[in-house]
Amino acid sequence: MRLAMVFIYFALAWHSLPAHADTSKIVTEISGLEGRETLKIAFGSCISGQDQSIWSAILAERPDLMIFLGDNVYLGEAEFGNATAIYNRYKGQFSSPSVRRLLSSIPTFSIWSDHDFGPDNSDSSFAHSKASRDAFDRFWRSSKLPGTSPGLGIAHSIRIGELLILLTDDRTYRLNPASGRAGVLFGQEQLDWIQRQLSAPGLKAAVIASAGQILNGGRSGESASLFPAEREKVLDVLSMSPITPVILSGDKHYLQILERKHSGKRLLEFTSSPLTAWPAGKGARAEEPFSTATIYSQHNFGLLTIKLGSPVRYSIKFLDKNGGELLSRRY
């Protein structure tokens, strides 16, 4: 990810950010959404920089809830192991009036990726992960949310009537592949939990939030394709579920729609990145075999609308930082 450029970019942006966001106003209450036949979920990932206009664009779409998909802050080495410094980084990053309006207006949930966990591409071997977890829980109030399960890291479930949202954790048990080691992404305990959740009675639709891509074919970035044995298990779980979930992911610094079949079922994944961080250009990137659409060089967020009828209908829309439509599809 051209790490040196990443931290230079962030360092310039960070010093202009005040550190006084009132996190007590992060809304997580979802009881008002029960009984809705149509739900709109805003989502995105990768946050840094001074341009904060995207938050007003998200609010203008009037989503029912917002999911942050990781790299919500870009931690520096001096902050590793210091929960207070990391918490203050969150406060500073989410301090602009527009993002504070977002956090206090609609239910907001988050997962983490490598940069809000530790170093670039970090895994469970990172020695200072407890401080990162403590700051994450304190800012996002995640340990107080219903649907959390002991032993699953930050993973938790959100049930809204006939809709299930699973917020996954790809850091707590992650072991990056190495010589003679296939690696671990979610871990068996979390995979079993996902399978149980998707088999719960009364569901019509499900959304899985993952920091990295799951369906992609190229072995790049933070994606599940780096863990082929476990990725096969993930695809088995998703395709054998009584309902077929839609995947939301981030990390890539461009937006993308992925579609592939596994065991006869069509699986869909919508990737939104970056919200305010540096957008990636295409450059010499190889074509993604499972992509049906890719847009580079744009700050963006996704808006997934779910209609809980028979059958369930999905529509996806990606918008730029000013609210202009970049791409839309219906399924």
Nearest residue to 130 via CA among 101, 165, 172: 172
Contact predicate 46/273, CB 8 Å: yes
Interatomic CA distance for residues 176 and 170, integer angstroms: 11
Structure tokens at 307: 């209609």
Residue 22 is predicted with a pLDDT of 52
Nearest residue to 196 via CA among 219, 170, 166: 166
Task: Say whether the peptide bond before residue 18 is cis (omega within 30 degrees of 0).
Answer: no
For residue 281, give every residue at least 6 positions away whose Cβ sits within 8 Å of its Cβ, in sequence order, or none: 296, 297
Helical H segments across 151-286, by residue range: 188-198, 228-240
- The pTM (predicted TM-score) of the whole model is 0.92
Residue 24 is predicted with a pLDDT of 52
Interatomic CA distance for residues 303 and 315, integer angstroms: 8
Contact predicate 211/249, CB 8 Å: yes
Tokens 């977002």 found at: 102
Number of other CB atoms surrounding residue 160 within 10 Å? 22
DSSP, res 184: B
Contact predicate 38/80, CB 8 Å: no
Q: Phi, psi at residue 330, to the nearest 5°?
A: -125, 145
Number of other CB atoms surrounding residue 78 within 10 Å? 8
Determine how β-strand 246-249 pairs with β-strand 205-210.
Answer: parallel
DSSP, res 278: P
Residue 286 is predicted with a pLDDT of 81
What is the dihedral sign for C-alpha 324, 30, 223, 237?
negative
Determine how β-strand 313-320 pairs with β-strand 325-330.
Answer: antiparallel
At position 227, the amino acid (one-letter code) is F
Maximum C-alpha span of the chain: 53
Give the residues across from 325 on adjacent strands.
Answer: 319
Nearest residue to 212 via CA among 257, 182, 169, 249: 249
Q: Which domains does the chain have, with CATH numbers?
A: 3-16+38-330 (3.60.21.70)
Give the residues across from 38 on adjacent strands.
Answer: 307
Residue 240 is predicted with a pLDDT of 95
Per-residue tens of pLDDT for the chain, all 331 residues: 444 444 333 333 333 333 444 555 799 999 999 999 999 999 999 999 989 999 999 999 999 999 999 999 999 999 999 999 999 999 999 999 999 999 999 999 999 999 999 999 999 999 999 999 999 999 998 877 777 777 799 999 999 999 999 999 999 999 999 988 889 999 999 999 999 999 999 999 999 999 999 999 987 778 999 999 999 999 999 999 999 999 999 999 999 999 999 999 999 999 999 999 999 998 868 889 999 999 999 999 999 999 999 999 999 999 999 999 999 999 9
Interatomic CA distance for residues 117 and 74, integer angstroms: 9
